[in-house]
Copies of this chain bind each other. A is one copy, B any other.
C-alpha cells in the first residue's frame, strides 16, 4: 500500500467495482453447473469477450472469509493486517458514530427453548418493525457504570455499544454459531482487567436481556458476536487520490465503505435502482463500489435457483453500464457462497476486468471454469485495487 501510495496519480478514467456478494458457487452434483454457469448471462458474456478474466483468492488458499476481510481485500487493505470486527462494521452501517472508548458488538435476535438451547439463530428473521420495538425495550436496561446503546439494523440484526473508559474488545462471542447449543458465556481473551471488565458487563447485559425478552418468542434471546473497538483505516482519498462512493442496499456494506472514507449514495432497494444511482452520479466521483446482496443471501439459504435468478437480474442491468465512459470495470464477488454449502466458502471468486487497456484473453463467457483459463490467472483479492488503478492510468512508473 505504501508502494501504491507513492505512485498514485489522477486520471479521467473512472473505476467501477461491482461486487456480487458470494458470487462463486459449486455445482449441486459432480460435473454439473454452478449458479453462475447456469444463469442466463448475455451481457456478462458479451463483456467477457472484451475483458480479461481470472480468479481472486480473498485471503489465502483454503481460508473462508467473512464479509469484512473479503471487502477490505478488494479495497486494497491487507485483510490480515487490517481487521474490523463485526460490531464496528454494523455500527458504521447504521451511522452510529463510535467514540474512542466504545466497544460495539453485533446482536442477533434468536430463539431459545426452555433449556436455553438455541433453536433458531435468526428468530425466524423477525420483521424490522419488531426489531425496532425490541431494541427500544432493551434500551431500558441499566447496567451500573456503563452507558449502553442498543440500535436496530434490519430483520433480526441489531448493534449494541458499550461506552466506558477502560474496556477492551478482546472478548469472546456469546453466539454459539450453531443451533442445538446453548448461548455461550462471554470470556476475556487476554488477561487484562479491561477484558474481564468487558466480559462481565456483556454477561450482565445478556442476563437482563433474557429477562426482558422472555415473552417475545420467537425473539426471546440475543446472541452477541464480533466485539470491536473502532478501527482506523487510511482513507481512499489519501491513499489512492480517489473521490469514492458506495452504492449498497445493506447497512453493513455501507458501514464498511464509510470506514474507508467513501461517500454513501442514496439509492433504492432493487438492483435496477442501484444501477440507476450509478448512472446518475457517474460524473461526480472517480470510484464506485456497487454491492449486490441477493446472491449471498440466496447462497446462505441454500437456494440455488434464487441465486441464479439474482445473477440473471444483474446481467440484465449490466447493459446500463455500456454508455458510461471512460471506465475501468471489475465484476466479481467478495467471496464464494455456494448454495451447496449454505455458507461462505474458501473457493476463489470469478473476476472480470474490462478496460480500454486490458489485454484480452481467449475467454468467451463469465463462468468459474472460463475464469480458470483467464489471462489474469489466480491472484489475491488485495491486488485488485492496483490492477484497477493501473488500467485507469492512475499509477506512475516505479523506478527509472
Instruction: Give bound CA distance, A148 to B79, whole Å.
Output: 50
Q: Is A399 an interface residue (CB 8 A)?
A: yes
B68 lies within 8 A of A27 (CB): no
Contacts of A391 in B (CB 8 A): 62
Whether a CB of chain B sits under 8 angstroms from the CB of A326 is: no
Q: Which of A368-391 contact B (CB under 8 A)?
A: 368-369, 372-379, 383, 385-391
Once the chains bind, are B390 and A62 in contact (CB under 8 Å)?
Answer: yes
**A residues 175-224 in Cβ contact with B at 8 Å:** none
Contact A63 B398 (CB under 8 A): yes
- Complexed CA–CA distance, A374 and B31 (Å): 14
Q: Could you say which of A243-251, A310-318, A339-347 contacts chain B?
A: A339-347
**Which of A24, A50, A84, A372 has most B Cβ within 10 Å?**
A372
Decide: A390 near B63, CB < 8 A? Known: A50-B31, A397-B344, A400-B86. Answer: yes
Q: How many angstroms from the CA of A26 to the CA of B49 in the assembled complex?
A: 15
Residue of B nearest to A383 (CB): B61
Compute how far the CA of A80 lies from the CA of B3 in the bound complex, rounded to whole angstroms.
Answer: 9
If over half of A's interface residues share one DSSP class (helix, strand or loop), that class is named, otherwise mixed; here it is loop
Please give the distance in Å from A325's CB to the nearest CB on chain B.
14
Residues of B within 8 A of A86 (CB): 400
**Which of B61, B66, B357, B361 contacts A26, CB < 8 Å?**
B357
Shortest distance between the CB of A244 and any CB in chain B (Å): 17
- Chain B min CB distance to A386 (Å): 3
Residue from B359, B374, B386 in contact with A61 in the complex, judged by beta carbons closer than 8 Å: B386
Contact of A361 among B7, B49, B369 (CB under 8 A): B369
A376 partner residues in chain B, CB cutoff 8 A: 378
Question: CA of A226 to CA of B397 in the docked complex: distance in angstroms?
Answer: 13
In the bound complex, what is the Cα–Cα distance between A79 and B397 (angstroms)? 13
Contact call B360/A31, Cβ cutoff below 8 A: yes
The interface residues of chain B lying within 8 Å CB-to-CB of A374 are 372
Q: What count of chain A residues pass the 8 Å CB interface test? A: 69
Q: Does the CB pair A377–B375 fall under 8 Å?
A: no
* Copies of this subunit: 2
- Inter-chain contact B362/A372, CB cutoff 8 Å: yes
Q: How far is the CA of A226 from the CA of B89 in the complex (A)?
A: 44
For the complex, is A308 an interface residue (Cβ under 8 Å from B)? Answer: no
Cβ contact of A89, chosen from B27, B359, B361, B400, cutoff 8 A? B400
Chain B residues with CB under 8 A of A24 = 359
Using known A-B contacts A26-B357, A80-B3, A373-B373, determine if residue A65 contacts B397 with beta carbons closer than 8 Å: yes
Among the interface residues A30, A347, A399, which one has the most CB atoms of the partner chain B within 10 A?
A: A399
Known contacts A3-B63, A64-B390, A398-B65; decide if A357 and B369 are in contact (CB<8 Å). no
Q: In chain B, what residue has the closest Cβ to A346?
A: B390
Q: Which residue of B lies closest to A354 (CB)?
A: B30
- B68 close to A359 (CB less than 8 A): no
Report, nearest first, the 5 A-B pairs whose CB atoms are least far apart. A62-B386, A86-B400, A62-B390, A66-B399, A61-B383
The residues of A with any CB-CB pair to B shorter than 8 Å are 3, 7, 24, 26-27, 30-31, 34, 49-50, 55, 59-70, 79-80, 83-86, 89, 106, 225-226, 340-341, 343-347, 357, 359-362, 368-369, 372-379, 383, 385-391, 395-400
Q: What would be 15 A-B contacts, judged by CB atoms less than 8 Å apart?
A: A26-B357, A26-B359, A27-B360, A60-B383, A60-B386, A61-B386, A62-B385, A63-B398, A79-B399, A225-B400, A346-B390, A346-B395, A347-B359, A362-B369, A369-B375
12 other contacts beyond A27-B359, A60-B383, A372-B377, with CB at 8 A cut-off? A3-B63, A7-B63, A30-B50, A62-B395, A65-B398, A66-B400, A68-B399, A70-B399, A340-B357, A345-B390, A372-B373, A377-B378
